[in-house]
Amino acid sequence: MQINLQIFENGASVSYAVAELIKEKVKATPDGQFLTIAVSGGTTPRLLFELLGNEYEKSIDWKKVRIFWVDERCVNPTDRESNFGMTYDAFLQKSIVPGENIFRMRGEEIPEFEAERYRELLRKELPARFGYPVFDLILLGMGNDGHTASIFPGDLSLIDSELAVAATQNPYTQQKRITLTGNTINNANQIVFIITGESKSQLIKEIIQNAPQAKYYPAAHIVNPKGKVDFYIDKAAATKL
C-alpha cells in the first residue's frame, strides 16, 4: 500500500483541501461527462459539505457532479442519524447539485432489498471494472475502532464480499446499515480518507507503519487498483507520527 499522507493545520484546512481537490477534478472532467463521488457521513464531512455549499457554489460546475453514498444508517432521511439527511441539511438543500444527479441510499427501506436496489442502480449508472462499479472519487472517514464505511472490525468478510453493496449492522448498537463493500470501494479511481482529531492518531500510526494489529482494522484494507490511498488529516490526527 502506498499512502499519500497530507497533513493540515485543522479540520477546516482539511475541508478546504478536499474542496479544492473536487474543484480540480470537476475542471478536468470533459463536457458531457460526470465526476462521480461517493460520500460518507460524520462531523468532518459535514464541515466539507457546509464549505462546498457556502464558498464553492459558483466555482464548481455542479451539473457535472453526481453524488452517491458510501453507506447509510437504516433510518428515515429526516432522522438526525441519516447520512443523507446530514448531507442534505449541510449542502444539498441549497439545490446546487441537480436533483437528478443525487443517488441516495434509502435507509427507510428493508436493508437487504435496498442493498439489492442500490447494487442494480450502480450497475446501470456507473462503468464497471473487475466486475464492480467504478467511482471517480470516494470520500471516507474512519472510526476510533478502525472501521470505515459500515465495515466494522470482526466483519472483514465485507472487504472481499462478492456483492457490490451489502446490508450489515453496527456491532455495538445493532443498528442496521447499508454499505458499499470493500471490493467496490477499492475499485475507485481515487480514495480519500478525511480524518481529524487526536483520538485517531494511534490508529493512523499503526496503519501507516503496517503494524500487526492493523490487519484487524477495515480501514487498513482500503487501497485503489494502483495500490494507493490518500489520507487528508489534521495535525491532531498526526500527533503520533
What 3-state class would DSSP assign to 229? strand
Residue 228 lies in a domain: no
Share of the chain above pLDDT 90, in %: 98
Q: Cell triple for residue 32? A: 458531457
The whole-number pLDDT of residue 1 equals: 84
What 3-state class would DSSP assign to 4? strand
Q: How far apart are CA 111 and CA 142, in angstroms?
A: 22
User: Where does 101-170 have alpha helices with state H?
Assistant: 111-125
What 3-state class would DSSP assign to 85? helix
Contact 46, 86 (CB under 8 A): yes
Cell 490487519 sits on residue = 215
Q: Where are the beta strands (DSSP E) in 50-119?
A: 65-69, 71-73
Structure confidence at residue 237 as a pLDDT band (50, 70, 90): very high
Q: Cell triple for residue 118? A: 442500490
Contact 51, 17 (CB under 8 A): no
Structure confidence at residue 151 as a pLDDT band (50, 70, 90): very high
Q: How far apart are CA 98 and CA 96, in angstroms?
A: 6
Share of the chain above pLDDT 70, in %: 100
Residue 35 lies in a domain: yes
Q: How far apart are CA 27 and CA 189, in angstroms?
A: 16
User: pLDDT digits over 48-101, tens only?
Assistant: 999 999 999 999 999 999 999 999 999 999 999 999 999 999 999 999 999 999
Give the domain CATH number at 7.
3.40.50.1360
Residue 24 lies in a domain: yes
User: pLDDT digits over 5-25, tens only?
Assistant: 999 999 999 999 999 999 999
Residue 241 lies in a domain: no
Contact 51, 15 (CB under 8 A): yes
Report the domain count for the chain.
Answer: 1
* pLDDT (mean) for 112-133: 98
Q: How far apart are CA 45 and CA 40, in angstroms?
A: 7
Q: Above 90 in pLDDT, residue 43?
A: no
The Cα-based distances of 77 to 107, 158, 203 in angstroms read 7, 24, 31
Contact 194, 14 (CB under 8 A): yes
* pLDDT (mean) for 114-137: 98
Torsion-angle region of residue 167: left (phi > 0), alpha (psi -120 to 50) or beta?
beta
Q: How far apart are CA 29 and CA 24, in angstroms?
A: 9
What 3-state class would DSSP assign to 54? helix
Residue 235 lies in a domain: no
Q: Cell triple for residue 90? A: 449541510
Structure confidence at residue 114 as a pLDDT band (50, 70, 90): very high
Cα 115 vs. chain centroid, distance in angstroms? 17
Residue 165 lies in a domain: yes
Structure confidence at residue 42 as a pLDDT band (50, 70, 90): confident
Q: Which domain holds residue 54?
A: 2-180+188-197+209-219
Residue 225 lies in a domain: no
Residue 203 lies in a domain: no
Structure confidence at residue 104 as a pLDDT band (50, 70, 90): very high
Instruction: Tell me the chain's radius of gyration from C-alpha atoms.
Output: 17
Structure confidence at residue 44 as a pLDDT band (50, 70, 90): confident
